[in-house]
């Protein structure tokens, strides 16, 4: 075991496997009979850590009174790692407050992310923005303590699955245009840029998109009995249900569109028919997320059954969304909803899957959306809302008061009142009281703050879709620029920059 670190890297993939560290120390100390210094040197040279999110629930803090009786030896070793870290910090003359902020055990809790950072030779974020937030805000003190430990490896997904397997029609189209090389080297998709202005190419792409939309529409009808117009804009948000991902803002905007369709003939005449598709699952104990799912389905029930509007607006919450279903959804998408509160989405990978299938991103400057925008430029993406710096400033000064918006903005006031005034006559009028109270009194994820910017961006999408040639060009550019997000590139980055391993071929 003495040269274990020369032959192996153990990668801690997010904070959840943090107990790898004390367990390895246990093996080296108790079974291999090494000294502490020998074991600790090997451990520190073996572990690398990827942080996937700054959300508190993912950073994991475990009460001592749960972990200690369950894993007494493991806890003892965590305690010793912490004691030695504190001792070293004291010898370096670090302040009491800094030591308390960074140590592993504090306030009767074990801070698993701190254990991972202290024990690893490398820490990485998963998108440029995310890594910068780790280095400059969330883990600023650790970054100062361990210069050069923090690196960025932007996430990737495999074109083999999310393009070649999921969308054979588009794959054949691309092969005819640019040859076979992109199948092994997705960066070769850049060659498509030579064709994006050709009307023939644009029409061929839109025909493929229509085929994929028809296939999804058929599945939805077969499984849920809902007719949808395959010529409508397929505006899709499929991802884990969480408040920061702001499915709620999407839902409120659909209510806003419905209200305008009901009240304004000129709006109706200018509105491209939309099909809003949601897919999501909520964590078992996440009550508020489940309440949002209930709201989306209640909205769907109302608007889908209104004969005045259902030619213009349909809402679908697909049943049992999973990876196999995603393989049908991604190729059929026109608009990819990536509307998380800026700074909260570490990277996202759905945005990449949609992009490579020719969907246009409607999103905030969050996660990998920032890098998508850098690749395709301002004209082939729809960006809106607060950026990460603005969100962090609002969080720091704590001056945002959503009630002021509620009381002074007639559109927001009207929408939120519809949550509790009997507008949804098929459910109890108090069904969505918690959502109403949360938005008026807290709005931790700036749904109301970003609402009008989001609505304006949605209007821009509506106008852009009227020009099918321009839309196709934008979509093709997204496909052409998607090679950066290949998982092959991502794994290659890990290999070169963290693991220090060579390709076999």
- Active site members: 52, 239-240, 245, 349, 353
Beta-bridged to residue 111, according to DSSP, are 61
Q: 3-state secondary structure string, 463-497?
A: HHHCCHHHHHHHHHHHHHCHHHHEHHHHHHHHHHH
Q: Residue 48: helix, strand or coil by DSSP?
A: strand
Could you tell me if 228 and 220 are in contact, meaning their C-beta atoms sit under 8 angstroms apart? Answer: yes
Q: Residue 402: which H helix or E strand, with range? A: helix 402-408
Distance CA 330, CA 465 (A): 18
Please name the residue that has the structure tokens 């393989």.
Answer: 327
Beta strands 105-106; 61-63: pairing state:
unpaired
Rounded to 5 degrees, φ, ψ at 325 are -65, -40
Give CA separation, 311 vs 225, 274, 295, 366, in Å: 16, 9, 21, 34
Give CA separation, 16 vs 48, 71, 111, 154, in Å: 13, 16, 11, 20
Distance CA 443, CA 290 (A): 17
Could you tell me if 420 and 432 are in contact, meaning their C-beta atoms sit under 8 angstroms apart? Answer: yes
DSSP label at residue 447: T
Distance CA 45, CA 103 (A): 20
Q: Residue 157: helix, strand or coil by DSSP?
A: strand
Angle at 161 (CA atoms; ends 158, 163), nearest 5 degrees: 90
In 143-290, which ranges are E strands? Answer: 150-152, 233-238, 274-279
Output the DSSP codes for 257-279: HHHHHHH-HHHHHHPPPEEEEEE
């Amino acid at each position: 075991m003495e040269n274990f670190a020369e032959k192996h890297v153990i990668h801690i993939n997010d904070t959840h496997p943090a107990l790898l560290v004390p367990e390895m120390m246990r093996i080296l100390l108790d079974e291999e009979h090494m000294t502490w210094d020998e074991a600790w040197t090997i451990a520190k040279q073996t572990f690398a850590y990827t942080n996937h999110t700054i959300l508190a629930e993912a950073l994991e803090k475990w009460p001592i009174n749960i972990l200690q009786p369950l894993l007494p030896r493991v806890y003892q070793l965590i305690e010793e790692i912490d004691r030695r870290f504190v001792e070293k910090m004291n010898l370096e003359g670090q302040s009491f407050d800094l030591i308390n902020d960074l140590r592993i055990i504090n306030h009767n809790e074990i801070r698993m992310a701190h254990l991972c950072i202290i024990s690893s030779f490398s820490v990485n974020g998963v998108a440029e923005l995310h890594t910068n937030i780790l280095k400059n805000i969330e883990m600023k003190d650790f970054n100062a303590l361990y210069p050069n430990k923090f690196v960025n490896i932007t996430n990737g997904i495999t074109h083999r699955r999310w393009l070649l397997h999921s969308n054979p029609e588009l794959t054949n189209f691309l092969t005819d245009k640019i040859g076979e090389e992109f199948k092994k080297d997705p960066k070769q998709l850049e060659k498509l840029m030579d064709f994006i202005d050709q009307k023939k190419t644009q029409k061929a792409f839109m025909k493929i998109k229509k085929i994929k939309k028809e296939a999804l529409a058929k599945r939805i009808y077969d499984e849920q009995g809902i007719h949808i117009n395959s010529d409508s804009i397929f505006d899709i948000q499929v991802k884990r249900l969480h408040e920061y991902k702001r499915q709620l803002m999407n839902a409120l905007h659909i209510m806003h569109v419905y209200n305008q369709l009901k009240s304004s003939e000129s709006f109706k005449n200018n509105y491209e028919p939309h099909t809003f598709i949601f897919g999501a699952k909520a964590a078992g104990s996440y009550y508020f997320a489940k309440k949002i799912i209930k709201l989306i389905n209640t909205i769907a029930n109302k608007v889908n059954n209104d004969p005045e509007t259902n030619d213009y607006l349909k809402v679908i919450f697909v049943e049992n969304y999973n990876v196999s279903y995603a393989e049908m959804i991604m190729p059929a998408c026109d608009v990819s909803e990536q509307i998380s509160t800026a700074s909260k989405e570490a990277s996202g990978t759905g945005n990449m899957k949609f992009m490579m299938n020719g969907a246009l991103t409607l999103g905030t400057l969050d996660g990998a959306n920032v890098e998508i925008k850098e690749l395709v430029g301002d004209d082939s993406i729809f960006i809106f809302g607060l950026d990460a710096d603005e969100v962090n400033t609002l969080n720091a000064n704590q001056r945002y008061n959503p009630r002021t918006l509620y009381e002074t903005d007639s559109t927001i006031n009207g929408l939120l009142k519809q949550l509790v005034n009997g507008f949804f006559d098929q459910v109890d009028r108090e069904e969505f009281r918690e959502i109403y109270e949360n938005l008026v009194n807290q709005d931790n994820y700036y749904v109301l703050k970003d609402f009008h910017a989001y609505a304006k961006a949605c209007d821009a999408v509506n106008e852009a879709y009227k020009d099918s040639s321009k839309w196709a060009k934008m979509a093709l550019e997204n496909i052409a620029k998607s090679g950066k997000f290949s998982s092959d590139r991502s794994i290659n980055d890990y290999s070169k920059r963290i693991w220090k391993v060579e390709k076999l071929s």
